[in-house]
Chain A
């Protein structure tokens, strides 16, 4: 079993819809939870990070962490075609390397 599991998709939704992306993990020692966005033929870029449990909001994006369920989510409100990308979750113990999910490919249909 992988430490971090992520549904690869692909996921297609109409413009303006709310998107929900999720990851599960097995190691309860993870403390930092991140979402990276990767456009086609580009390197990943950090979108948001959360420390421990709770929610964090940044514009149209909300990251949620539920440590009791070992489950993290990224919500995108009012999705735009420019949000079409692969979204990777990543986790770390802090002061350590990142463990990535395999990524979910998202397409927003105009």
Chain B
């Protein structure tokens, strides 16, 4: 398997623009996670899905953020409108389950977002 695939790898946009990040999880994994990483706050869970259904979106910072998983092989994270404070690296991860350390989360390479 190619692992978790994310696109684009880098995104530079201007404040107010819509940004869409994409993720293809590992085939057969039932869970998909979206994280955001910054120097100040570290790695934060934004939302996760089980079998394409959002389970916990308590980490989504505000209504400007939305995530969808229309099928088992594709998910999007959208920011509209974007703000400079959204600049971060966004990671997608997938796993077979969520049983602590026994269900390893496999991370994608991340999307580095810069909002000017």
Q: Which residues of A contact B (CB under 8 A)?
A: 6, 31-34, 41-46, 49-51, 88, 92-103
A6 to B41, CA, bound (A): 11
Please, how many angstroms separate the alpha-carbon atoms of A46 and B103 in the complex? 10
Contact A98 B42 (CB under 8 A): no
- Point out the residues of chain B lying under 8 angstroms from A92, CB to CB: 98, 100-101
Q: Give the distance to chain A from B40, nearest Cβ to Cβ, in Å.
A: 8
Contact partners of B93 in chain A: CB under 8 A: 43
Binding site for A on B (CB under 8 A): 4, 33, 41-45, 48, 56, 91, 93, 97-102, 104-110
Which of B43, B91, B93, B98: most chain A Cβ within 10 A? B43
Cβ B110 vs Cβ A43 within 8 A: yes
Number of A-B contacts (CB under 8 A): 64
What are 23 A-B pairs at a CB distance below 8 A?
Answer: A32-B100, A32-B102, A41-B110, A43-B108, A44-B107, A45-B107, A46-B105, A49-B100, A49-B101, A50-B101, A88-B43, A93-B100, A94-B99, A95-B97, A95-B99, A96-B100, A97-B56, A97-B98, A100-B42, A100-B43, A100-B44, A102-B41, A102-B43
* CB-nearest residue of chain B to A63: B101
* Distance between B38 CB and nearest chain A CB, rounded to angstroms: 9
Given A97-B48, A101-B42, verify A46-B100 contact (CB < 8 Å): no
**Residue numbers in A under 8 Å from B41 (CB-CB):** 102
B107 engages A43 (CB within 8 Å): yes
Q: Once the chains are docked, how many angstroms separate the CA of A4 from the CA of B45?
A: 14
- Chain A residues with CB under 8 Å of B105's CB are 46, 98
Q: Once the chains bind, are B109 and A42 in contact (CB under 8 Å)?
A: yes
Question: Which one of A31, A42, A45 contacts B100 once the chains associate, using CB atoms below 8 Å?
Answer: A31
Contact B43 A94 (CB under 8 A): no
Contacts of A45 in B (CB 8 A): 106-107
Tell me if A88 and B100 are in contact (CB < 8 A): no
